[in-house]
Amino acid sequence: MDSKRPLLLQSPRTTNDQEFPTIPVFPELPKSKSSSSNTVTFSGVEYGQQVDHKTSSNSSTSSSKSAMSIHSMSSSKRNNSLNHSGSKKPVTVRYGSKGGGDSDGLTMSQRELRDEDARLVYINDPEKTNESFEFFGNSIRTAKYSILTFIPRNLFEQFRRVAYVYFLIIAILNQLPQLAVFGRYVSILPLAFVLFVTGVKDAFEDWRRHNSDKVENNRLASVLINDGSFVEKKWKDIRVGEIVKIKTNETIPCDIVLLSTSDPTGVAYVQTINLDGESNLKTRYAKQETGSKVQPRYTGLIKCEKPNRNIYGFMANMEIDGKKLSLGSTNIVLRGCELKNTSWALGVAVYCGRDTKAMLNSSGAPTKRSRLETRMNYEIIMLSSFLVALCTITSVCAAVWLKRHKDELNLLPYYRKLDFSKPKVDDYKYYGWGLEIFFTFLMSVIVYQVMIPIALYISIELVRVGQAYFMIEDHRLYDEATDSKFQCRALNINEDLGQIKYVFSDKTGTLTENKMEFQCASIWGVDYSSTKANIDGEQGEYSVQVDGKVLKPKMKVKVNPELLKLARSAVENEEGKRIYDFFLALATCNTIVPLVVDTPDSDVKLLDYQGESPDEQALAYAAAAYGFMLIERTSGHIVIDIHGKRLKFNVLGLHEFDSDRKRMSVILGYPDSSVKLFVKGADTTMFNVIDKSYNMDLIKSTETHLHSYSSLGLRTLVIGMKELNTSEFEEWHAAYEAASTAVFGRAALLKKISNNVESNVCILGASAIEDKLQQGVPEAIESLRAAGIKVWVLTGDKQETAISIGFSSKLLTRNMTQVIINSNNRVSCRKNLKDALERSRKLMSTFGVGNNDGAVANQIALIIDGGSLVHILDSEHEEELFQLASLCSVVLCCRVAPLQKAGIVSLVKNRTSDMTLAIGDGANDVSMIQMADVGVGISGQEGRQAVMSSDFAMGQFRFLVPLLLIHGHWNYQRLGYMILYNFYRNAVLVLVLFWYVLYTAFTLTTAINEWSSTLYSIIYSALPTIIVGILDKDLGRSTLLKFPQLYSAGQRDEAYNKKLFLLTMADTLWQSMVIFWPPLFAYWKSTIDVASIGDLWTIATVILVNLHLAMDVVRWYWVTHAVIWGSIVATFISVMIIDAIPQLPGYWAFFHVSSSGLFWALLLGIVIAALLPRLVVKFIYEYYFPSDIQISREAEKIKQYQRVAENGQIEMLPISDQQQHR
Partner 1 sequence: MATNSAGSNDPTVNRRQTKRPKYSKFTQQELPACKPILTPQAVISAFLIVTAIFIPIGVASLIASRDVVEIVDRYEAACVPSNWTDKIAYIQSGADKTCKRELHVEKRMKSPIYVYYQLDNFYQNHRRYVKSRNDEQLRDAGKGNSTSGCDPESNVDGVPIVPCGLIAWSMFNDTYSFSRNNNNVTVNKKGISWKSDRDHKFGSDVFPKNFQNGTIKGGASLNETIPLSQQEDLIVWMRTAALPTFRKLYGKIEVDLEKGDVINVVLQNNYNTYSFSGKKKLVLSTTSWLGGKNDFLGIAYLSVGGLSFFLAMAFAIVYFVKPRQLGDPSYLSWNRNAAGQ
- The verdict on 177 binding partner 1 (CB under 8 A) reads no
Residue number with CB closer to partner 1 (179 or 651): 179
- The verdict on 1005 binding partner 1 (CB under 8 A) reads yes
Least distance in angstroms from the C-beta of 1161 to partner 1: 6
In the DSSP assignment, the letter for residue 99 is T
Residue number with CB closer to partner 1 (651 or 1162): 1162
- The verdict on 1147 binding partner 1 (CB under 8 A) reads yes
Q: Are strands 714-724 and 762-773 parallel, antiparallel or unpaired?
A: antiparallel
Task: Mark 811-850 with x for binding to partner 1 (rule: CB under 8 A) and - for no binding.
Answer: -------------------------------------x-x
**From the list 2, 125, 250, 933, which residue makes contact with partner 1 (rule: CB under 8 A)?**
250
Query: Distance between alpha carbon 354 and the CA centroid of its chain, in Å?
Result: 23
Rounded to a whole number of angstroms, the distance between the first and last alpha carbons of the chain is 32
- The verdict on 345 binding partner 1 (CB under 8 A) reads no
Least distance in angstroms from the C-beta of 964 to partner 1: 16
**From the list 55, 83, 87, 142, which residue makes contact with partner 1 (rule: CB under 8 A)?**
142
- The verdict on 1220 binding partner 1 (CB under 8 A) reads no
In the DSSP assignment, the letter for residue 771 is E
By CB under 8 A, the residues from 922 to 951 that bind partner 1 are 948
- The verdict on 1083 binding partner 1 (CB under 8 A) reads yes
Q: Which stretch binds partner 1 (CB under 8 A): 54-62, 414-422, 631-639, 1017-1025?
A: 414-422
Least distance in angstroms from the C-beta of 267 to partner 1: 21
User: Cα torsion for 1091, 1166, 1164, 1128, to the nearest 10°?
Assistant: -60
**From the list 133, 420, 431, 694, which residue makes contact with partner 1 (rule: CB under 8 A)?**
420
- The verdict on 725 binding partner 1 (CB under 8 A) reads no
- The verdict on 220 binding partner 1 (CB under 8 A) reads no
Task: Mark 765-794 with x for binding to partner 1 (rule: CB under 8 A) and - for no binding.
Answer: ------------------------------
By CB under 8 A, the residues from 573 to 592 that bind partner 1 are none
Least distance in angstroms from the C-beta of 844 to partner 1: 15
Least distance in angstroms from the C-beta of 246 to partner 1: 12
Residue number with CB closer to partner 1 (481 or 604): 481
In the DSSP assignment, the letter for residue 306 is P
Least distance in angstroms from the C-beta of 412 to partner 1: 6
Taking the C-alpha atoms of residue 24 and residue 261, their distance in angstroms, rounded to an integer, is 13
The verdict on whether 933 is a catalytic residue reads no
Least distance in angstroms from the C-beta of 1001 to partner 1: 5
**From the list 106, 491, 1001, 1107, which residue makes contact with partner 1 (rule: CB under 8 A)?**
1001
**From the list 197, 215, 1137, 1177, which residue makes contact with partner 1 (rule: CB under 8 A)?**
215
**From the list 88, 297, 322, 414, which residue makes contact with partner 1 (rule: CB under 8 A)?**
414
By CB under 8 A, the residues from 428 to 447 that bind partner 1 are 428-429
Burial group, residue 196, by CB count within 10 angstroms (0-12, 13-18, 19+): exposed
Phi (first) and psi of residue 488, to 5 degrees: -105, 100
Task: For 927-992, give the DSSP string.
Answer: HHHHHSSEEEEE-SSS-SHHHHT-SEEES-GGGHHIIIIIIIHHHHHHHHHHHHHHHHHHHHHHHH
**Spatial CB neighbours of 782, under 8 Å, sequence gap ≥ 6:** 810
Q: Which stretch binds partner 1 (CB under 8 A): 79-87, 161-169, 211-219, 379-387?
A: 211-219
Q: Are strands 934-938 and 220-224 parallel, antiparallel or unpaired?
A: unpaired
Q: Which stretch binds partner 1 (CB under 8 A): 46-54, 379-387, 581-589, 1183-1191?
A: 1183-1191
- The verdict on 1211 binding partner 1 (CB under 8 A) reads no
Residues binding partner 1: what is the number (CB under 8 A)? 125
**From the list 274, 492, 674, 685, which residue makes contact with partner 1 (rule: CB under 8 A)?**
274
Residue number with CB closer to partner 1 (983 or 1047): 1047
Task: Mark 1015-1044 with x for binding to partner 1 (rule: CB under 8 A) and - for no binding.
Answer: ----------------x-x---x-----x-
Rg of the Cα trace of the chain? 38
| Number of Cβ atoms within 10 Å of the Cβ of 1001 | 16
By CB under 8 A, the residues from 849 to 908 that bind partner 1 are 850-851, 853-855
| Number of Cβ atoms within 10 Å of the Cβ of 1028 | 25
**From the list 20, 166, 415, 882, which residue makes contact with partner 1 (rule: CB under 8 A)?**
415
Identify any residues that bridge with 520 across adjacent strands, giving them in sequence order.
529, 768
Residue number with CB closer to partner 1 (228 or 1186): 1186
Residue number with CB closer to partner 1 (208 or 842): 208
By CB under 8 A, the residues from 1094 to 1113 that bind partner 1 are 1094
- The verdict on 1198 binding partner 1 (CB under 8 A) reads yes
Catalytic residue among 102, 125, 206, 506: 506
- The verdict on 999 binding partner 1 (CB under 8 A) reads yes
**From the list 53, 192, 1148, 1203, which residue makes contact with partner 1 (rule: CB under 8 A)?**
1148
Phi (first) and psi of residue 645, to 5 degrees: -100, 130
Task: For 550-569, give the DSSP string.
Answer: EEEESS-EE--HHHHHHHHS
- The verdict on 205 binding partner 1 (CB under 8 A) reads no
By CB under 8 A, the residues from 1059 to 1078 that bind partner 1 are 1078
User: Cα torsion for 1089, 1091, 1096, 1100, to the nearest 10°?
Assistant: 140
**Spatial CB neighbours of 381, under 8 Å, sequence gap ≥ 6:** none
- The verdict on 418 binding partner 1 (CB under 8 A) reads yes
Q: How far is CA 1218 from CA 153, 1038, 1214, in A?
A: 52, 10, 7
Taking the C-alpha atoms of residue 201 and residue 150, their distance in angstroms, rounded to an integer, is 12
Least distance in angstroms from the C-beta of 531 to partner 1: 35
Contact 993, 1078 (CB under 8 A): no
- The verdict on 132 binding partner 1 (CB under 8 A) reads no
Q: Are strands 344-351 and 255-261 parallel, antiparallel or unpaired?
A: antiparallel
Shortest CA distance to 39 belongs to which of 333, 293, 263, 331? 263
Taking the C-alpha atoms of residue 580 and residue 586, their distance in angstroms, rounded to an integer, is 10
3-state secondary structure of 1001: coil
3-state secondary structure of 629: strand
Least distance in angstroms from the C-beta of 816 to partner 1: 19
Contact 288, 334 (CB under 8 A): no
- The verdict on 144 binding partner 1 (CB under 8 A) reads no
Q: Which stretch binds partner 1 (CB under 8 A): 146-154, 404-412, 450-458, 585-593?
A: 404-412
Least distance in angstroms from the C-beta of 143 to partner 1: 11
Q: How many residues does the chain have?
A: 1222
**From the list 266, 336, 669, 776, which residue makes contact with partner 1 (rule: CB under 8 A)?**
336
Query: Distance between alpha carbon 234 and the CA centroid of its chain, in Å?
Result: 34
- The verdict on 598 binding partner 1 (CB under 8 A) reads no
**From the list 652, 1162, 1163, 1174, which residue makes contact with partner 1 (rule: CB under 8 A)?**
1162
Taking the C-alpha atoms of residue 651 and residue 755, their distance in angstroms, rounded to an integer, is 18
**From the list 706, 1093, 1102, 1105, which residue makes contact with partner 1 (rule: CB under 8 A)?**
1093
User: Phi/psi class of residue 647: alpha, beta or left (left: φ > 0; alpha: ψ in -120 to 50)?
Assistant: beta
Task: For 1151-1163, give the DSSP string.
Answer: HHHTTSHHHHHHH
Sheet holding 915-920, edge to edge: 487-488, 952-954, 934-938, 915-920, 500-506, 790-794, 890-894, 860-865, 817-821
By CB under 8 A, the residues from 461 to 490 that bind partner 1 are 469-470, 472-475, 478, 480, 483-485
Catalytic positions, written as ranges: 506
